[in-house]
Amino acid sequence: MAKVKKMHKKAVAAAVPQPVPPKSALFLNRELSQLAFNRRVLAQAENPAVPLLERLKYLCIASSNIDELFEVRIASLLANNHIDGEKIEETPALSAALEIAGAECHQIVERQYRVLNESVLPQLAAQGIYLLRDQDRNEAQRAWVKSYFDREVRPLLTPIGLDLAHPFPQVVNKSLNFIVELSGKDAFGRGTAIAIVKAPRVLPRVIQLPPELSKDGVAFCLLSSIIHAHINDLFTGREVLAYSQFRVTRNSDLWVDEEEVKNLRQALQGELQSRNFGVAVRLEVAKNCPPHLSRFLLEQFSIAENRLYAVDGPVNLVRLSELIDLVNKPELRFTPYVPAYPPKLVNADLFATIRKHDVLLHHPFQSFQPVLEFVRDASRDPAVVAIKQTIYRTGMNSDLMESLIYAAQHGKEVTVIVELMARFDEEANINWADRLERAGAQVVYGVVGLKTHAKLALVIRREDSGFRYYAHLGTGNYHPSTTKFYTDFGLLTANPAIATEVNEVFIHLTSLTKPKKLDRLWLAPFSLQKEFIKAIGNEARIARAGRPARIIAKMNALLDESVIRALYAASADGVKIDLIVRGACALRPGVPGLSDNIRVRSIVGRFLEHSRIYYFRNDLAHDVYLSSADWMNRNLFRRIEVAFPILDPALKKRVINEGLNPYLKDTSNAWELDANGNYRLRRPRGKTAPFSAQSWLMQLHGNSME
């Protein structure tokens, strides 16, 4: 009877409408979470245990991340404030988002320059690496800089005095420029007071001085410093009253009306030309820029004052990466690591090996070379009749793409799905698409309105038993350069349960017909979110039945509200959930009654964590899925994405033991998220030595030194 009363109370409570918590109580702010990741990157630049030149590199990465935030995310928020180019009244939510993100950006940028000026540059100087400003240079160095300016820089400068005939010039996105205030009158007796000087884009931003002028080490000057020192030389007969370097960040998201254009590639080629002149969203000036000059620039670019950044140093920290490349001091870098080549593939027939068993590759700890060889061997194998591949990012130079071109030229059926809208890689992809078509390949641009982000390659080989399918599925791009410092998994398989469904995905993408029911692969935008939520719900059902339930997921970002709500519900049912989220995370972990059983951590180390792994205990079935998709709305509904299962028990164990468990143990590069959106670096307890997942994986696979 008591049990019946208890059940009745629960039913009554469930029937009474419960107050709906505000959205802000359920989800963390996206922009602040994204910026929190940048703070974790900056922490690497501050970490004395990180080699000095690598610390400078992290500083450059942090600056690049801020650039992209403005070019894409902030630009997108601002674009929502316009209709047909006309500004409309901001909504309170938009105003709040911009204000919060802006305040945090100002703090991060100030911290970047403080790290540069107070820590990195002094320590570089202590190592004999000097970045010399004009006041730091001796007479001999000044003489050399003057000669360099006269010989290499001045001939390329075109100062523009502003008047009715010379309006404010077009300024390229993220380019280096100078605003100059002049006294007196020009050569024609007019009082043109303002001039603009554009720094030549063809010149390096970091210039190395000759060894005999480099003190006891190696000395560099920035192009901006050289122009600063000789800006008076550009205006004969006039006095320079004030000047400042400046840089404008613009909206760099390409847009084409996909319903109207007849040829997406031609439309994008036209858009690429205008990317450098999108709507201005941020202005950077030197810290000592006079207020009236910065106000003048803000007016010219129609930028709000809260998006003005007066910085204590060069306006583009990303360019300091050129200095890193010029310094030959291995002791100031990470110990070189060459990815290990899987022993089972050494001198092996690749297709014969894949026929026997699936091959799992863990990059960058294992070489990407087998993937290149998979496509290269297929292009030369007379038994191979067809190759199909998706391309999202592959770079301007690619052996893999050359192999596809070779295959097409030698009579194989080659189909390549090239994503033309891969942000910042559009030009490279257009060039490859053109070359592939000229070689005779069938080039498809995916599905209009959806980016093809899935990482798939398929080889069809004629064998004694008929056609056999060989597939590669991955979590990362077919870009040999990034595979050296992005962590990703790839699977080579001839298992018909997987490979035949890969072929069905290709048929779907090229024919645009409704995809057949897939038993193994989860495909966005059709079933991916539904399957993820179903798997989360299954763990919740198991927990409610009183059995152990467990979810471990690793991804770049967690923002999809439906997935987050499903995780909250599973947590309330007793599912133990560990999330390894590198970047933005909107889920609040550890909230009593909401997410008690959820822990979130972020790993920021030597390599960029990029793999997406989804583990569901499922009553000891240990379901493991790898994917190109994060738990974000855009991945689940606005992209073609694939999640694929690892079926081989030994390989499942490898993914868990290499891709998940070490990251949950990490006490070196792990940051733990609390319910308020704050990240704290996890430290080892007591006298326990710090544990780094990435270092452990390098040792596991063998550090192949160059």
Backbone φ, ψ for residue 234 (5° rounding): -85, -10
486 is known to lie in a ligand binding site? yes
544 is known to lie in a ligand binding site? no
How open is the CA angle 419-85-281, to the nearest 5 degrees? 70
Where helices occur in 127-207 by DSSP H, the ranges are 139-148
Q: What is the DSSP string of 299-357?
A: HHHT--GGGEEEESS-S-GGGGHHHHHH---GGGSPPP-BPBPPGGGTT--HHHHHHHS
Closest by CA position to 367, among listed 397, 351, 343, 348? 343
End-to-end CA distance of the chain: 76
Dig out the tokens for 164 from the structure: 């009715």
Q: What is the DSSP string of 391-420?
A: ES---SS-HHHHHHHHHHHTT-EEEEEE-T
Backbone φ, ψ for residue 444 (5° rounding): -125, 145
Residues forming beta bridges with residue 616, ordered by sequence position: 551, 623
Residues forming beta bridges with residue 639, ordered by sequence position: 451
Name, in order, each residue with C-beta under 8 angstroms of 492's C-beta and a sequence gap of 6 or more: 350, 354, 358, 359, 360, 361, 370, 371, 374, 470, 471, 472
610 is known to lie in a ligand binding site? yes
> Do the Cβ atoms of 349 and 370 come closer than 8 Å?
no
582 is known to lie in a ligand binding site? yes
Q: Indicate the angle between helix axes 30-46 and 52-68, nearest 10 degrees.
A: 160
Give CA–CA dist 458/436, Å, rounded: 17
Dig out the tokens for 511 from the structure: 């024919």
Q: Are strands 308-311 and 280-286 parallel, antiparallel or unpaired?
A: parallel
Q: For 674-693, give the secondary structure using H, E and C.
A: CCCCCEEECCCCCCCCCCCH
Residues forming beta bridges with residue 490, ordered by sequence position: 361, 474
Give CA–CA dist 402/183, Å, rounded: 58
Give CA–CA dist 552/549, Å, rounded: 10
The DSSP 8-state label assigned to residue 19 in this structure reads P
Residues forming beta bridges with residue 640, ordered by sequence position: 452
Where helices occur in 614-676 by DSSP H, the ranges are 633-637, 649-655, 661-665
Q: Establish whether 410 is a catalytic residue.
A: no
Closest by CA position to 248, among listed 285, 207, 197, 292? 285
Which of the following is catalytic: 230, 453, 479, 701?
453
Give CA–CA dist 412/431, Å, rounded: 21
Give CA–CA dist 134/244, Å, rounded: 15
Burial grade of 94 (CB within 10 A; 0-12, 13-18, 19 or more): middle
Burial grade of 359 (CB within 10 A; 0-12, 13-18, 19 or more): buried
Dig out the tokens for 408 from the structure: 């097409």
Neighbours of 463 (CB within 10 A): 10
205 is known to lie in a ligand binding site? no
Q: What is the DSSP string of 489-515?
A: EEEEE--HHHHHHHHHHHHHHHH-PPP
Closest by CA position to 497, among listed 520, 476, 468? 520
Name, in order, each residue with C-beta under 8 angstroms of 86's C-beta and a sequence gap of 6 or more: none
> Do the Cβ atoms of 173 and 250 come closer than 8 Å?
yes
Q: Residues comprising the binding site for ATP?
A: 65, 486, 582, 610
- Residues marked as binding for Mg(2+)? 393, 423
- Any idea which residues carry the catalytic annotation? 453
Instruction: List residues forming the annotated binding site.
Output: 65, 393, 423, 486, 582, 610
